[in-house]
Structure 1
Amino acid sequence: MPTLFDPVQAGDLRLANRIVMAPLTRNRAPDAIPTPLMTEYYTQRATAGLIITEATAISHQAQGYADVPGLYGTEQLDGWKPITEAVHDAGGKIVVQLWHVGRVSHTDLQPNGGKPVAPSAITAKTKTVLIRDGVPTFVATSEPRALDAAELPDIVHTYQAAARNAVETAGFDGVEIHAANGYLLDQFLKSGSNQRTDDYGGSLKNRARLLLEVVRAVAGAIGGGRTGIRLSPVTLSNDAYDADPQPLFDYVVKQLAKLNLAYIHIIEGATGGARDLPDRPFDYAELKAAYRAAGGKGAWMVNNGYNQELAEQAVKDGSADLIAFGKPFIANPDLVARLRGNAPLNTPDQATFYGGGAKGYTDYPSLYK
Structure 2
Amino acid sequence: MPSLFDPIQLGAIHAPNRILMAPLTRGRSTRGHVPTEIMQTYYAQRAGAGLIISEATGISQQGLGWPYAPGLWTDEQTEAWKPVTDAVHKAGGRIVAQLWHMGRIVHPDFLGGAQPVSSSATTAPDSAHTYDGKKPYAEARALTLEEIPALLDDYVKATRNAIAAGFDGVQIHAANGYLIDQFLRDSDNFRDDIYGGSPANRIRLLSEVAAAVAGEIGADRTSVRLSPNGNTQGTIDSDPESVFVPAAQALSDLGIAFLELREPGPQGTFGRTDQPKVSPAIRKVFKGPLVLNSDYGFTDGQATLDEGVADAIAFGRPFIANPDLPVRFSKKLPLAEAPMATWYSQGPEGYIDYPAA
Paired with 1:283 and 1:186, the residues of 2 have a C-alpha distance of: 15
In structure 2, what residue type is equivalent to 1:8?
A: I
Paired with 1:301 and 1:281, the residues of 2 have a C-alpha distance of: 17
Distance 1:276 1:104, change over 3 A: closer
- Normalised to the residue count of structure 2, the TM-score between the two structures is 0.97
Paired with 2:122 and 2:10, the residues of 1 have a C-alpha distance of: 37
- What residue is the counterpart of 1:29 in the other structure? 29
1:228 aligns with 2:218: no
3-state SS of 1:199 partner: coil
3-state SS of 2:320 partner: helix
Paired with 1:235 and 1:63, the residues of 2 have a C-alpha distance of: 24
Q: Contact 2:230/2:272 (CA < 8 Å) preserved in 1? A: no
- What residue is the counterpart of 1:158 in the other structure? 154
Could you report, residue by residue, the CA deviation over 1:67-98 in whole angstroms, capped at 9, with x for unpaired residues? 11000001100110000001001110000000
- What residue is the counterpart of 2:352 in the other structure? 362
5 Å-filtered alignment, 1:61-76, equals: 61-76=62-77
- What residue is the counterpart of 2:183 in the other structure? 188
- What residue is the counterpart of 1:100 in the other structure? 101
In structure 2, what residue type is equivalent to 1:346?
A: A
5 Å-filtered alignment, 1:1-369, equals: 1-30=1-30, 31-110=32-111, 112-132=112-132, 137-167=133-163, 169-269=164-264, 273=269, 277-278=273-274, 280-291=275-286, 296=287, 298-367=288-357
Question: What is the alpha-carbon root mean square deviation over aligned residues?
Answer: 1.4
Q: Contact 1:268/1:275 (CA < 8 Å) preserved in 2? A: no
Q: Contact 2:294/2:315 (CA < 8 Å) preserved in 1? A: yes
How far does residue 269 in structure 1 lie from its aligned partner after superposition?
2.2
Distance 1:306 1:275, change over 3 A: farther
In structure 2, what residue type is equivalent to 1:364?
A: Y
3-state SS of 1:239 partner: coil
3-state SS of 2:329 partner: helix
Q: Percent identity?
A: 46
Could you report, residue by residue, the CA deviation over 1:255-298 in whole angstroms, capped at 9, with x for unpaired residues? 111111110000112696378632x233421121122xxxx2x2
Paired with 1:6 and 1:158, the residues of 2 have a C-alpha distance of: 36
In structure 2, what residue type is equivalent to 1:103?
A: R
Paired with 1:211 and 1:28, the residues of 2 have a C-alpha distance of: 29
Paired with 2:135 and 2:309, the residues of 1 have a C-alpha distance of: 39
Uncovered stretches (5+) of structure 2, i.e. residues with no partner: none
Count of matched residue positions in the alignment of Structure 1 and Structure 2 = 355
How far does residue 242 in structure 1 lie from its aligned partner after superposition?
1.0
- Normalised to the residue count of structure 1, the TM-score between the two structures is 0.93
Q: Contact 1:234/1:241 (CA < 8 Å) preserved in 2? A: yes
Paired with 1:19 and 1:344, the residues of 2 have a C-alpha distance of: 17
Runs of 4+ in 1 over 4 A off after TM superposition: none
How far does residue 128 in structure 1 lie from its aligned partner after superposition?
2.3
Paired with 1:277 and 1:290, the residues of 2 have a C-alpha distance of: 24
Could you report, residue by residue, the CA deviation over 1:139-188 in whole angstroms, capped at 9, with x for unpaired residues? 32222111111101110111111112101x10000000000000000000
Q: Contact 2:156/2:213 (CA < 8 Å) preserved in 1? A: yes
Q: Contact 1:275/1:304 (CA < 8 Å) preserved in 2? A: no
Report which stretch shifted further, 180-189 or 261-270. 261-270
Paired with 1:234 and 1:317, the residues of 2 have a C-alpha distance of: 20
In structure 2, what residue type is equivalent to 1:348?
A: A
Paired with 2:177 and 2:271, the residues of 1 have a C-alpha distance of: 17
Paired with 1:27 and 1:309, the residues of 2 have a C-alpha distance of: 30
Paired with 1:126 and 1:18, the residues of 2 have a C-alpha distance of: 36
Q: Contact 1:224/1:261 (CA < 8 Å) preserved in 2? A: yes
In structure 2, what residue type is equivalent to 1:262?
A: A
Could you report, residue by residue, the CA deviation over 1:94-139 in whole angstroms, capped at 9, with x for unpaired residues? 00000000000111101x320110111110113321123xxxx333
Q: Contact 2:232/2:271 (CA < 8 Å) preserved in 1? A: no
How far does residue 306 in structure 1 lie from its aligned partner after superposition?
0.4
Q: Contact 2:231/2:273 (CA < 8 Å) preserved in 1? A: no
Distance 1:60 1:262, change over 3 A: same
Paired with 1:358 and 1:276, the residues of 2 have a C-alpha distance of: 31
Q: Contact 2:25/2:56 (CA < 8 Å) preserved in 1? A: yes
3-state SS of 2:208 partner: helix
How far does residue 318 in structure 1 lie from its aligned partner after superposition?
2.0
Distance 1:270 1:123, change over 3 A: farther
How far does residue 247 in structure 1 lie from its aligned partner after superposition?
1.3
3-state SS of 2:44 partner: helix
Q: Contact 1:237/1:270 (CA < 8 Å) preserved in 2? A: no
Q: Contact 2:38/2:348 (CA < 8 Å) preserved in 1? A: yes
Paired with 1:282 and 1:171, the residues of 2 have a C-alpha distance of: 35
